[in-house]
Structure 1
Amino acid sequence: MDSEYTVIGALLKMERIKQNKGQKEVCYGICVPSYLSKIEHGTVNPDNEIIKQLYERLGISYEIDKKVLSEYREGISRYFHLLHYHMDTEEVYAELLEADSQLLYSAFAVDWLIIKGIEGEPVLPQIGRLKEAMSAEQKAYYLWLCFKEYTDSAQRVLDYEKACTIINNSFAMIQLCRAYFYHGDYPAIHRMENRTVAAALEEGNTYYLAEYYFFNGSAYACLDMEEMMIANYNRSICLLQNTGWKERMPDLYYNMGASYIALKKYKLGLEYLLKAQELQKESEFFTIHKLAIAYIRQGKMEEGRDCLRRIKKLFLDEKAYTELEYLMYEEACMECEKGFLDNPEYMKLLDKLIKVIEKDSHFGFLYFYKEIIVKAYERQRKYKKALEFEQKISSIVIKMNTK
């Protein structure tokens, strides 16, 4: 079937359901309900006059002007080109937004909704209702938009591997690296190096070349593998520092600082965290949190408490925070207390923190707390739990070292 007619039918069905109208009500005097059903499922190529009447019955019009559609096609192509090179999409998006209502009822409806999703609009349910009308490429972008909707990171990896083979450029490869990262499959990120670097170089895509080294460095940072972390992050920094993409630099410095804190190299950790803070436009919870931890673990309690007061103010000002952020804040507060490792409440807090990290974040967060978690288990004579936790951590480290 012609993909355009598949879109026409899917949009017709979506709008009919949205208006809470039955098939008979919409098609009365135009066609029989069974034929409308075929149109909605994209199994027939209906006459343009029938389509026009059905859309008019719903109070909308389907854009068919070839000149207008050609302009839309050009604008959408420009948008995705800019996206693939991580260039500013604001101007072209604004131009397309002016034709929002026309685009939503055109052959480019799916592409337009995907673009709106990329720009942060809450359109996932709307796009989901058009899945049957999507091309393979459109399904790939839809899956990337659904990143946070997955509850199974292994399934996300499988879907992203398929999506990457369809789009097959450095942009797609970085989306796959991201899925590997949150699944904790760090060796898979390393295995992507030749493929991703070759694609980025062939495309002349500086940003996604730098982004690959960022992810690879982050994989090493999660396991405190200092030498490899620095090598990859320095490559990323060299590629980005003289470009318009300096907004990525605070993330690099933050990750380096957090890794040095886990390695107990507090001076270096503070140096990089303060660099990150200086470059950030707004106060960032994770940067302030790691600064607090660095000060507290050096015994500089007043500086640490000052950072915790800043976090509390941040929570109050924004009036929203994740469960993970709040538990991390609570844990840092308890580290300020004398004898906290012997406190049963601290152990309860750590158990909650472990569960939330495993559910909502990636392995690097868990690895950051590995030493203090084991210490707390041992101090409270929960030796079996300490051993199980160490074995869990070690199994991933071994995979990392035997890529």
Structure 2
Amino acid sequence: MRSAKSTTAQLKIHATLLSGRKAVFLAPTHALVDQTTRDLRDAFPRATVRGERTDEFGFSSQGEDLPDVMVMTPEACLLSSQMEPERFDDVGLLIFDECHLMHPSTDGDRRAIDAMLCILGFTRVAPDADIVLLSAMMKNTDELSGWLEELTGRKSLPLDNAWKPTRQLRGCVVYDAKRYANLQNLLKTERRKKPTGGVPVAVKRKLTATPKGFFSVKQTWASQIRSDYTLVPLLDTALEFSTNKFWKLTPNSGVVASSIAVAAARAGLRTLVFSQSIPNAFSISEKARMALDDCDVELTENEQRLYEVSADEMGGADQLYLTLENGKLVSQAATHHGQLLPEERQLAEALYKRDGALSALPCGTK
């Protein structure tokens, strides 16, 4: 079942194509450009759909007319609208997915500045085109709609729909407060015995607690009604906390994430784990790989082609994140991130979709 965002976007693209005009779809990362391009090709088999990105050498399709649907990053759209504005003459629609990126997360957020300049530049080269801003993380739709009206001089409609086509639980990992306090007291006591240096290994082994999941059974955390929340055990075994140089407990998030992913895999569930860095995602993947049993999955013809291209481009199969033996996938865990070759990224995504193949896919967001 598609999300409400995807359905809205595809209906609008369909109407634009029927009017004889073209559409530009903005996705924030190269990985999403590739994924969105594949999805839109499936949705519009009679239309030409192409993904485009920029690098130090310019555009991959410099000087060519835009296809029926062009998927690109905001940075690529910004540069193209400045360097080749004539390419947008026939564009009747701009869709910006994850448009909350226009709001800077920090001072001097370059991506937010580029995203905003992209919208402003697009309205300059295609002033009659419709603009659709999509995000599941916006609360100020009325304010944003008013800004679009002022920018385009046309009526803008805000849509704030809390409905989602999938069942979701929002939760966090928590620990028993008394157990946590006892461990902090243990560290204080042990530090008096050893005022210099780090925490002894024997002490670290005692710093364990069982993670639990605290879930909201509604869409938000706004309620203070006890029945709107539930506390459930995530694992049957306790996990070891980490410590920093100040002898303070830290969550050991990599171990926690991989342990939960492994438990989910053994229960027949596939898990995506989002990490703040590629090295952390790889570390989580390796922990999960070593804990899970090997699988035995033969690649399809298309998957085999993606694997061979990836191995050839990277200089050998040993340079890939996926583990194959005799042409078969043997590991249930792999790593996914935006700096992968498109072929290796597509291969990981394809194997994650298959039953009995990848069951844990840690993803590095940076």
- Normalised by the size of structure 2, how large is the TM-score? 0.29
Higher percent of residues as strand:
2
Higher percent of residues as helix:
1
